[in-house]
Amino acid sequence: MPVLLASDQAPTLPELLRVANTVGLDCKIVGATEPMPCIQGVGSLLSAGPVEISFLSNPKLHAQLALSKAAAVILTESVAATLPANGPPCLRVICSQPYLMYALLAQWFDRHRIDQLACGVHPTAVIADTALIAEHVSIGAHCVIEAGVRIGCGSRLGPACVVGTGSVIGRDCLLHARVTLYHDVTVGDRAILHTGVVLGADGFGFAPDPYKEPGAWAKIAQLGGVRLGDDVEVGANTTIDRGALEDTVIGNGVKLDNQIMIAHNVHIGDHTAMAACVGVAGSTQIGRRCTIGGAAMFAGHLVLVDDVQVSGGTAITSNINEAGQYTGVYPFADHRQWQRNAAVVSQLAQLRRRIQTLEKAD
């Protein structure tokens, strides 16, 4: 990958570890030389060049270390102890959690890149007179900021974003192009909302209306809002509906992947993470620190306790009252074999009764 900083902007390796807030990881540099190299970017073991830093967290990639041309490599003490004294020539940053350190360094480089792109308020943006825009806010081309909106210091809105009446965006948020916030949506500090995110669309609420005609429906107005906590990231084309009477609530540190559907009145606890294509029906409450695999589905009005892991493709149709991992994926097979298996599964209740009858007869 190309380097991320110009040479005159690049920090030395010790400076990078300091400004990227990695002090808490208790790292040290081994094989230090003077002058220390300046680091212009991050890369994989094989792609990183002499002005980039790389990392080794997967033991399967150990052999690539000898081939790396990176200026420095992040690795654990145990891995460093296995390296020969004469190689590799790069500096070694010893850290107990190389992958986490890589994540923090990559965040720093990305923030620097975004800062360089900040353009102030584009002349094509439409901003209501009653909107309150803090200092150092960047608003891209063709954005629409409606009445009563508040945007916190340092936040950035990409092209064609729409922020509806009375919505609030916290400090240091990043909204990529074409993010839409309906009215009365609240986004906490340091949120990242990717392209196509829609917050605050109407929840799916309808009441049967036989007085109009058989089978007709009357729309239930969705009067609540959406509230996102701090440090939330929402992936591309993910939608979070507003509540019917109370707010849909997404806790602090929640991470949502692409193309997820969160229905009205859902509550998601702090630091829960969901992979792509998850669907959560209305009024479900998901606890803190849960991890949800891709394409998992949740029926409505359910409660999941904290620290639940749901495997990909699993359908959750009842409450989960104990922490742990839950899986309900029916294994795929040749279609004809699957049909035979499904026929047996559909008769399990009858087979159970027959077995119980035989056991009683004994």
d(CA 4, CA 193): 22
Q: Which two tokens stand for residue 298?
A: 């949740």
Cα dihedral 150, 258, 298, 332 in deg (nearest 10):
180
Q: SS3 of 211, please? A: coil
Which one from 176, 194, 264, 267 is the annotated catalytic residue? 264
Strands 144-145 and 279-280, by their bridges, are unpaired
Catalytic site residue 264? yes
- Which residues fall within 8 angstroms of residue 184, CB to CB, at 6 or more apart? 164, 165, 166, 167, 200, 225, 226, 242
Question: What are φ and ψ of residue 54, in 5° steps?
Answer: -130, -175
- Positive/negative CA dihedral, 35, 36, 40, 46: positive
User: DSSP letters of 124-192?
Assistant: T-EE-TT-EE-TT-EE-TT-EE-TT-EE-TT-EE-TT-EE-TT-EE-TT-EE-TT-EE-TTEEE-TT-E
Active site residues: 264
